[in-house]
């Protein structure tokens, strides 16, 4: 077997790029071809053509590979024509993208999947979304690895009274910050929403909108901006109520970060959340009504903490082994 190459594209703070770097490290014996920022398609094609012989693996979300879904698909198809390409697809198209964008993105993802030697997605829910794009072949399922963040964090007081409700990740429409603000009325006065992250590109207007909503409700709202990796474990293990309120999930790095920090984040019922619980019972706190869940968590903050370390079924070693099997199969073909 030849040594595979992992092409890692995008800024380090992007969730897909961070997952790609972590997975490349967990795989061990691989060549890592790093292209930071937003390289052009021509630059990526030159990089892949110059890589060591063997299969190339790349994590793909359309926004990292082009200004439009069509441009991103052009780039990935060109890479697949140059080398045997295994693509791990992220942010799969779904109805919440809106009718126009969903259709454009579905076409782009179908083109990328059909051009690749093998396709990987992070959940069975994502596999169903890919099938809805018109892709007949079943992808391989390789869950996003859960990082072990608790090991590098200071001890925490699990019984401490929470000082805020916290949501991790980029701000973008539908992420769920608004419903959290609206549900804070079940908590004592002065308890607000802390958002760890920054506004997604093109959505800076959300900061002012959320600030205004919080002010109208008489609740504090704090946006941290980008959080360096070194600071993340301590924040996630601080006395807050962890909430991951996005309802249109197909995979979630922010939920994995909470789990990796030893927390049980409150997440709305969805196919993906049920899938997580099937793999690792108790890893998240599933809710149907956010107000009820927040009130219960406030009364018993210990219930937002998990016993033990990262669940073995979700850890980097287990997920890397699944991906290695896909890469070896393509290399042997």
Structure tokens at 280: 């690792």
Tell me what the mean pLDDT of segment 194-219 comes to. Answer: 90
Task: Say if 5-144+315-332 and 150-312 have the same CATH topology.
Answer: yes
Residue with tokens 């992007």, as numbered in its chain: 14
The two most distant CA atoms of the chain are separated, in Å, by 62
pLDDT of residue 226: 87
For residue 317, the Cα-to-chain-centroid distance in whole angstroms is: 18
With beta carbons less than 8 A apart as the criterion, state whether 58 and 66 touch: no
Which tens digits make up the pLDDT trace of 114-161?
A: 999 999 999 999 999 999 999 999 999 998 888 888 887 778 889 999
Query: What is the rounded CA–CA span in Å between residue 232 and residue 243?
Result: 15
Q: Strands 164-168, 85-89: parallel, antiparallel or unpaired by DSSP?
A: unpaired
Query: What is the rounded CA–CA span in Å between residue 279 and residue 114?
Result: 29
pLDDT band at 98 (very low <50, low <70, confident <90, very high): confident
The domain over range 5-144+315-332 is classified in CATH as 3.90.1300.10: no
What is the overall mean pLDDT for the chain?
91
pLDDT of residue 37: 82
Which tens digits make up the pLDDT trace of 81-96?
A: 999 999 999 999 988 7
CATH fold of 150-312 reads Rossmann fold (3.40.50)
Domain ranges for the chain: 5-144+315-332, 150-312
Query: What is the rounded CA–CA span in Å between residue 76 and residue 170?
Result: 25
φ, ψ of residue 164 in degrees (nearest 5): -165, 170
Tell me what the mean pLDDT of segment 219-232 comes to. Answer: 91
Query: What is the rounded CA–CA span in Å between residue 224 and residue 189?
Result: 21
With beta carbons less than 8 A apart as the criterion, state whether 31 and 327 touch: no
pLDDT of residue 5: 94
Backbone torsion region of residue 143, taken as left when φ is above 0, otherwise alpha when ψ lies between -120 and 50, otherwise beta: beta
Tell me what the mean pLDDT of segment 221-248 comes to. Answer: 91
pLDDT surpasses 90 at 105: yes
pLDDT surpasses 80 at 292: yes
pLDDT band at 185 (very low <50, low <70, confident <90, very high): very high
**Quick one: CA torsion of 110, 111, 117, 121, rounded to 10 degrees?**
-30
Query: What is the rounded CA–CA span in Å between residue 3 and residue 161?
Result: 50
Query: What is the rounded CA–CA span in Å between residue 74 and residue 109?
Result: 11
CB contact set of 301 (below 8 Å; sequence gap of 6+): 158, 159, 160, 161, 162, 239, 241
Q: Which of 144, 147, 123 is nearest to 257 (CA)?
A: 147
Query: What is the rounded CA–CA span in Å between residue 317 and residue 122?
Result: 15
pTM of the model: 0.85
Query: What is the rounded CA–CA span in Å between residue 11 and residue 281?
Result: 33
pLDDT of residue 28: 87
Counting residues of the chain whose pLDDT is more than 90, the rounded percentage is: 62
Which tens digits make up the pLDDT trace of 31-80?
A: 998 998 889 999 999 999 999 899 999 999 999 999 999 999 999 999 99
> 331 or 2: which carries more pLDDT confidence?
331
pLDDT band at 243 (very low <50, low <70, confident <90, very high): very high
**Quick one: CA torsion of 322, 56, 249, 285, rounded to 10 degrees?**
40
With beta carbons less than 8 A apart as the criterion, state whether 16 and 42 touch: no
pLDDT of residue 249: 67
Residue with tokens 């590979």, as numbered in its chain: 65
């Amino acid at each position: 077997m030849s040594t595979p190459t992992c092409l890692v594209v995008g800024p380090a703070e992007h969730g897909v790029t961070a997952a790609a770097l972590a997975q490349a490290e967990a795989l061990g014996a691989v060549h890592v071809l790093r292209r930071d920022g937003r390289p052009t398609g021509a630059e990526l094609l030159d990089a892949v053509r110059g890589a060591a012989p063997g299969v190339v693996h790349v994590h793909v979300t359309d926004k990292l590979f082009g200004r439009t879904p069509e441009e991103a698909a052009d780039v990935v198809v060109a890479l697949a024509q140059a080398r045997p390409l295994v693509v791990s697809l992220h942010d799969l198209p779904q109805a919440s993208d809106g009718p126009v964008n969903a259709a454009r993105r579905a076409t782009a993802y179908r083109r990328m999947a059909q051009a690749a030697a093998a396709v990987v997605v992070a959940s069975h829910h994502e596999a169903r979304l890919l099938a809805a794009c018109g892709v007949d072949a079943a992808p391989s399922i390789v869950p996003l690895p859960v990082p072990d963040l608790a090991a590098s964090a200071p001890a925490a007081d699990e019984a401490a009274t929470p000082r805020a409700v916290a949501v991790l990740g980029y701000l973008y429409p539908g992420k769920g910050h608004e419903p959290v603000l609206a549900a804070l009325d079940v908590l004592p006065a002065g308890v607000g929403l802390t958002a760890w992250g920054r506004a997604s590109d093109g959505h800076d207007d959300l900061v002012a909108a959320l600030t205004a909503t919080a002010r109208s409700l008489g609740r504090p709202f704090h946006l941290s901006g980008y959080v360096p990796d070194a600071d993340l474990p301590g924040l996630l293990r601080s006395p807050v109520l962890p909430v991951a309120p996005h309802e249109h999930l197909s995979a979630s790095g922010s939920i994995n970060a909470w789990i990796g920090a030893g927390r049980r984040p409150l997440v709305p019922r969805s196919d993906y959340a049920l899938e997580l619980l099937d793999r690792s019972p108790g890893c998240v706190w599933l809710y149907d009504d956010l107000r009820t869940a927040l009130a219960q968590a406030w009364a018993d903050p210990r219930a937002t903490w998990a016993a033990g370390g990262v669940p073995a079924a979700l850890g980097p070693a287990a997920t890397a082994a699944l991906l290695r099997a896909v890469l070896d199969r393509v290399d042997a073909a």
